[in-house]
Amino acid sequence: MKKLKFLVFIVLSLLFVACENNGMIAGDPNYWTTSRGQFTVEVPQGDHTVTMFFLNNGDGTATVTFDGSNPLHWAGSSNATVSVLTYKDTIVIPESVSYDKKTLRVTAIGKEAFMGCRELKKVEIPASVTSFGEGAFAICTTLKSVNIPSGIASIPSACFGQCQSLDSITIPSSVRSIGKKAFYGCKRLQLISIAEGIETIDDMAFYACSSEKLMDITLPASIKRIGSDVFGGFEATYCHIVSYTMVSAVPPVLSGELYYRPDGLTEDPIVYVPTGAKAAYEAAENWNKLIIREQF
């Protein structure tokens, strides 16, 4: 079983860094040119400016995107070595930008927009942003602080994967789903706060979040489905959560194992449920493998 888990871990890790290049190669003069809608703006950042890359969505809005001069935006397929210096330190994303004599409202952080910015420490996102792309902040290994605006409805796959310095995250009530491996490998996460409103947490969303200070989590009543190994890990990367509090009296669909615990640990995690809900959880698929206790 452990060998199987390890193989799955390796395969998913390889998939994690695969990025689409639309069939074009580095140096192609048509790659991410203005004809495809990309433009740059010098954005004030306190006492200096930063060149930020955007896509013109053609509807009065703009999307923050990655540096078009680095089109492949990734390294080898065998490890997550992508490293770019486009954005670093603290970045404040503007609510709007000027382009072609027009003002465009910034409404999205695009796919892989900040991916691999290993010197990025903090991102401030305005309320105008309502969507994130897959892998938007992936492999930002020094990113410690980022806010999720209240208009975001979904946190997509690998959005914050391998943000190894992120110490806390607050999921607002607007978010309905957290995608596969969304916070994969965020090994310093000490606090995960998920507001009422969430409905789905996909496979391995918080996999390998192995901080020993992350010991409890509350999942709100709105949640309807929890994927497999959401709080999993492999050996040294296992999640240390020992207390899961379920607010819902109705067991959400649990697609597989809630967590992974290596052999030899004496303290098994406990799932706390509302008064009167113990029997329902003990009868539900996959929940019936866990230790269930009533709390309130």
pTM of the predicted structure, to 2 decimals: 0.86
- Give tens-digit pLDDT for 117-166: 999 999 999 999 999 999 999 999 999 999 999 999 999 999 999 999 99
Inform me whether the pLDDT recorded for 224 exceeds 90.
yes
Cβ atoms 55, 35 nearer than 8 A: no
Q: What share of the chain is helix, strand, coil (3-state, %, to 5)?
A: 10, 30, 60
CA end-to-end distance (rounded Å), the chain: 36
Give pLDDT tens digits for 61-103: 999 998 766 544 544 444 456 777 888 899 999 999 999 899 9
Q: Within its chain, how far is the Cα of 97 from the centroid?
A: 26
Instruction: Sketch out the chain's domains with CATH numbers.
Output: 2-17+37-241 (3.80.10.10)
Catalogue the long-range contacts made by 22-29 (C-beta closer than 8 Å, 24 or more residues apart): 24/71, 25/71, 25/72, 26/70, 26/71, 26/72, 28/71
Distances in whole angstroms, Cα of residue 17 to Cα of each of 7, 59, 72, 215, 255: 17, 31, 11, 29, 25
